[in-house]
């Protein structure tokens, strides 16, 4: 039984390992530039990994935030506009974080004030943020973009900087999630909200904490978006919201949250997706077929995870 | 037990459907470089194989596209994948339809990983970033069917891996709009509407086309005619860049009755378009893009003439036959032939530069058809699967050509010279 549990718990990590080995094997056979490919994988994964790591706190509580992509875009746009006026990268970084945390706070406070499920307020917030994206771009006067000079961020567009940001944020999240009451109580709230409430745990308080931590990730993701692609348009980060959901589930996170939530799910999922995409391209699968293959693998992951959970009681 | 099984299967099917749509919406960056044959390649007839010996070694070219579905995009893709690829044993790796600069960078990363030795860009969200990325990676880069803005060209013309651009310059775009409007002004038309497309996003190509149209109206508007008090084309371009749209009103005795920009393509946008076309007195709709596709239905039953800029395709010939399109300034499928050869030479160690040692900035214009017969004639030349507009034999002559010969070849793009 212990071996079986271990296999299930390690399945996402093993999956990533298989994909990494597959990438190197297929890549070497096909003669692709695997070293450059690793750089591409990091570039394609890092924003989703950072945002999704923060989002794990929300998912753990059995909640869901659909506005993360739009929030990333708004934070990046405001930060980009601040750069254009101040030419100060530190201020740009701080703005990016502050805007994202502010949006996250607004989400959670609104849910608390109106006593609504958090998911509902994030749907409303998604519309507001999408409108704000258009407004910000128009305010900027170019009609289509906010363009931070690429020279300004070129020195930060390195793998070292991106990995450093991801590692630091991930370390903070691991600490909060696994070694403080925050993570434990959020798991409790996700597993059984009523029971958690009866023991004196405040849903609102932990919801606000989860959103603030997630907001920090969104802010970092927004800054990394500026660093990677400093020409910001209405499409900036448009796929991040959906990619975060896919990455979290791909990484083995139960969609209902609770005790089996894992902080590392987001990073595992984000990198797994990118390696999978690279392998698809190597097999010359066009994007339509690639998406179907990904969907099939995704289903398999969810099916296995769901089957495993049904056979067992809560972890003791 | 059976019920549980059925529920499980149904849940799986539902989840599968949802997941497919999720993955289709998501992974915009990670999956940016799709591969395989094009839609055009799957559906259109194949070109006859060129019986030539390729002068250089084959390699992979990554193609960045922001538009993967228009007649223009499909036609040019078909030429590259179905003709050039076979003639030179090349492989073209197309990106998905790109939506932002992050997608462009991600697609280039994936293409370089997959051993693309050159990038042909037809996506313009952030061309400076693309050029910088390719220069850093040591991968040749060229702009296809378009051109860099002049200040960008000045910045990057000395880059080793920037091969250059072969496509319509801003001047050509201006003339295209100017000639389109003048065609109708010469017929005595006085009441116009304009579809300004990406002028709303300050796209230089569309701004120049609209500026050309307005300049022609100013010239035809009689004494004292001006657009917003301006008569100088440079000032009009500047004003359009500032406003992101053309203002309706009188230009001397010419009336600009309606204007619509952007590509919102929602119900409200189409309703505005219909209202513009059906407004009292409008005689001509001048479109910077495909006017007949967007507003042809709205113009049905009216006498409004529609003029478009796009490419030679069966749909436009049909539109001209049934009267929903009156004027077409179009690109032809082989448009990317010279820029391919420029990349081919560069990767094979024989790069072509201007006499000053700079990257190329060569201009190609459009073929113009003003009747169904003309359109049919141009379409038949463009769609000739045995002898494309620019054959491999002709392109091969450019392999060792000097700059003047290459430029002369590109300048002979007009239909009269080609046919």
The answer to whether residues B130 and B214 belong to one domain is no
The answer to whether residues B163 and B287 belong to one domain is no
Residue pLDDT, tens place only, A45-67: 999 999 999 999 999 998 888 89
Cβ atoms of A55 and A68 within 8 Å: the answer is yes
- Beta carbons within 10 angstroms of residue B5's beta carbon: 9
What percent of chain B shows pLDDT beyond 70?
89
Q: Is residue B101 part of a domain?
A: yes
Joined tokens for residue A155? 């020195």
From residue A283, how far is each of A29, A30, A300, B48, B212 by CA, in Å? 11, 9, 21, 28, 47
What percent of chain A shows pLDDT beyond 70?
93
Q: Is residue B379 part of a domain?
A: no
From residue A161, how far is each of A125, A243, A271, B363, B387 by CA, in Å? 31, 22, 17, 41, 53
Cβ-Cβ contacts under 8 Å for A216 (sequence gap 6 or more): A54, A97, A100, A101, A169
CA distance A95 to chain B (A): 21
User: Across the strands, what pairs with B197?
Assistant: B261
Q: Would you state the torsion angle of the CA atoms of residues A7, A42, A231, A86, taken in this order, to the nearest 10 degrees?
A: 100
Q: Which of the residues B101, B152, B156 would you substitute to probe the A interface, choosing the one with the greatest number of A C-beta atoms within 10 Å? A: B101
Residues of A in contact with B28 (CB under 8 A): 238-239, 243
Domain C-terminal end among B285, B306, B331: B331
| B203 touches A: beta carbon within 8 Å | yes
pLDDT at B27: 41
Domain of residue B126, CATH code: 3.40.50.2300
Cβ-Cβ contacts under 8 Å for A227 (sequence gap 6 or more): A153, A156, A157, A161, A162
Name the pLDDT band for B330 (thresholds 50, 70, 90): very high
Residues of A in contact with B201 (CB under 8 A): 142-145
| B126 touches A: beta carbon within 8 Å | yes
Residue pLDDT, tens place only, B166-215: 999 999 999 999 999 999 999 999 999 999 998 988 888 999 999 999 99
User: Across the strands, what pairs with A232?
Assistant: A146
What mean pLDDT, rounded, does chain B reach?
87
Name the pLDDT band for B42 (thresholds 50, 70, 90): very low
Joined tokens for residue B214? 């307005």
Residues of B in contact with A286 (CB under 8 A): 34-37
CB within 8 Å: B202 and A144: yes
Name the pLDDT band for A97 (thresholds 50, 70, 90): very high
Q: Is residue B371 part of a domain?
A: no
* Phi/psi of residue A224, nearest 5 degrees: -65, -35
Joined tokens for residue A136? 């910000």
The answer to whether residues B303 and B396 belong to one domain is no
Q: Is residue B43 part of a domain?
A: yes
User: Across the strands, what pairs with B260?
Assistant: B195
pLDDT value at B50 more than 90:
no
Q: Is residue B13 part of a domain?
A: no
Residues of B in contact with A225 (CB under 8 A): 102
Distance between CA atoms of residues B266 and B353, nearest Å = 45
The answer to whether residues B278 and B249 belong to one domain is yes
Number of folded domains that form chain B: 2
CA distance B321 to chain A (A): 35
The answer to whether residues B239 and B291 belong to one domain is yes
CA distance A198 to chain B (A): 34
Which whole number is the average pLDDT over A257-266? 90
Half-sphere exposure of A110 (CA within 13 A, CB side): 15
What residue ranges define each of the domains in chain A, with the CATH number in brackets? Answer: 46-310 (1.10.3470)
| B351 touches A: beta carbon within 8 Å | no
Please give the angle made by the CA atoms of A9, A15 and A20, to the nearest 5 degrees.
140
Identify the residue with better confidence: B368 or A7. B368
CB within 8 Å: A246 and B15: no
Domain C-terminal end among B315, B331, B347: B331
Q: Is residue B20 part of a domain?
A: no
Cβ atoms of B392 and B83 within 8 Å: the answer is yes
CB-count exposure of residue B188 (10 Å: 0-12, 13-18, 19+): exposed
ipTM of the complex in this document: 0.81
The answer to whether residues B198 and B75 belong to one domain is no
CB within 8 Å: A295 and B20: yes
- Beta carbons within 10 angstroms of residue B274's beta carbon: 16
Q: Is residue B372 part of a domain?
A: no
| A97 touches B: beta carbon within 8 Å | no
User: A277: nearest CA in chain B?
Assistant: B31
Q: Which of A237, A287, A295 sits opposite B16 (nearest CB)?
A: A295
State in Å, rounded, how far the first CA of chain B is from the last one.
73
- Beta carbons within 10 angstroms of residue A149's beta carbon: 13
Distance between CA atoms of residues B236 and B217, nearest Å = 12
The answer to whether residues B341 and B236 belong to one domain is no
The answer to whether residues B42 and B137 belong to one domain is yes
**What range defines the domain where residue B80 resides?**
28-169+332-365+386-418
CA distance B114 to chain A (A): 5
Q: Is residue B15 part of a domain?
A: no
The answer to whether residues B81 and B139 belong to one domain is yes
Residues of B in contact with A291 (CB under 8 A): 20, 23-24, 27, 31
CA distance A140 to chain B (A): 11
The answer to whether residues B279 and B341 belong to one domain is no
pLDDT value at B153 more than 60:
yes
Distance between CA atoms of residues A74 and A129, nearest Å = 7
The answer to whether residues B222 and B308 belong to one domain is yes
The answer to whether residues B151 and B286 belong to one domain is no
């Amino acid at each position: 039984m212990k071996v079986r549990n271990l296999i299930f718990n390690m399945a996402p990590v093993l999956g990533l390992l298989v994909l990494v080995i597959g990438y190197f094997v297929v890549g070497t056979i096909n003669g692709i530039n695997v070293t450059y490919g690793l750089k591409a994988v990091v570039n394609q994964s890092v924003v989703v990994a950072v945002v999704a790591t923060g989002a794990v706190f929300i998912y753990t509580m059995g909640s869901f935030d659909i506005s993360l992509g739009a929030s990333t875009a708004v934070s990046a746009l405001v930060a980009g506009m601040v750069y254009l006026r101040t030419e100060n990268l530190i201020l740009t970084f701080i703005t990016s974080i502050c805007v994202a945390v502010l949006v996250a706070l607004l989400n959670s406070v609104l849910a608390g004030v109106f006593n609504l499920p958090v998911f509902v307020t994030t749907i409303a917030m998604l519309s507001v943020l999408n409108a704000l994206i258009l407004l910000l771009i128009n305010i900027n006067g170019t009609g289509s973009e906010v363009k931070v000079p690429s020279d300004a961020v070129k020195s930060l567009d390195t793998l070292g900087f991106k990995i450093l940001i991801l590692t630091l944020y991930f370390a903070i999240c691991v600490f909060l999630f696994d070694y403080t009451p925050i993570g434990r109580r959020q798991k409790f709230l996700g597993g059984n909200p009523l029971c958690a409430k009866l023991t004196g745990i405040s849903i609102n308080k932990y919801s606000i904490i989860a959103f603030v931590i997630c907001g920090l990730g969104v802010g970092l993701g927004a800054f990394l978006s500026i660093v990677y692609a400093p020409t910001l348009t209405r499409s900036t980060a448009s796929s991040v919201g959906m990619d975060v959901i896919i990455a979290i589930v791909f990484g083995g996170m139960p969609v209902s949250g609770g005790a089996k939530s894992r902080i590392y799910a987001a990073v595992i999922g984000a990198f797994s997706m990118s390696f999978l995409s690279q392998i698809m391209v190597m097999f010359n699968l066009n994007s339509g077929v690639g998406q179907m293959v990904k969907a099939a693998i995704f289903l398999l992951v969810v099916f296995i995870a769901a089957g495993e959970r049904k056979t067992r009681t809560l972890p003791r | 037990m059976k019920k549980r099984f059925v529920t499980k299967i149904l849940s799986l099917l539902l989840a599968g459907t949802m997941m497919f749509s999720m993955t289709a919406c998501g992974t915009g960056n990670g999956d940016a470089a799709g591969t395989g044959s094009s839609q055009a390649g799957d559906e259109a007839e194949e070109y006859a194989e060129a019986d030539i010996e390729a002068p250089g070694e084959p390699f992979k070219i990554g193609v960045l596209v922001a538009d993967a579905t228009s007649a223009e995009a499909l036609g040019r893709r078909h030429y590259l994948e179905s003709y050039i690829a076979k003639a030179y044993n090349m492989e073209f790796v197309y990106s998905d339809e790109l939506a932002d600069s992050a997608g462009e960078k991600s697609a280039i990363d994936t293409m370089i990983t997959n051993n693309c030795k050159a990038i042909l860009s037809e996506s313009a969200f952030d061309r400076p970033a693309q050029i910088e990325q390719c220069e850093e990676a040591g991968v040749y880069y060229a702009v296809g069917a378009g051109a860099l803005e002049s200040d960008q060209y000045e910045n990057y013309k000395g880059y080793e891996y920037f091969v250059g651009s072969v496509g319509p310059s801003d001047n050509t775009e201006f003339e295209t709009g100017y000639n389109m409007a003048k065609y109708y002004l010469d017929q005595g038309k006085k009441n116009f509407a304009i579809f300004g497309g990406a002028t709303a996003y300050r796209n230089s190509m569309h701004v120049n086309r609209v500026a050309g149209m307005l300049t022609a109206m100013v010239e035809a508007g009689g004494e004292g005619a001006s657009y917003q008090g301006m008569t100088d084309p440079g000032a009009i371009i500047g004003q359009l860049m500032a406003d992101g749209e053309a203002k309706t009103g009188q230009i001397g005795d010419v009336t600009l009755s309606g204007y619509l920009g952007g590509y919102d393509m929602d119900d409200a946008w189409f309703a505005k378009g219909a209202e513009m076309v059906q407004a009292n007195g409008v005689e001509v709709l001048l479109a910077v893009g495909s006017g007949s596709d967007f507003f042809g239905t709205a113009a049905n039953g009216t006498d409004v003439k529609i003029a478009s800029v796009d490419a030679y395709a069966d749909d436009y010939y049909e539109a001209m036959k049934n009267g929903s399109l009156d004027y077409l300034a179009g690109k032809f499928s082989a448009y990317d032939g010279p820029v391919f050869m420029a990349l081919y030479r560069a990767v094979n160690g024989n790069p072509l530069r201007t006499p000053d040692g700079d990257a190329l900035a060569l201009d190609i214009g459009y073929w113009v058809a003003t009747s169904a017969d003309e359109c049919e004639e141009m379409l038949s030349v463009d769609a000739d699967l045995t002898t494309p507009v620019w054959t491999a034999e002709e392109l091969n002559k450019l392999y060792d050509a000097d700059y003047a010969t290459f430029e002369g070849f590109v300048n002979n793009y007009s239909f009269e010279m080609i046919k």
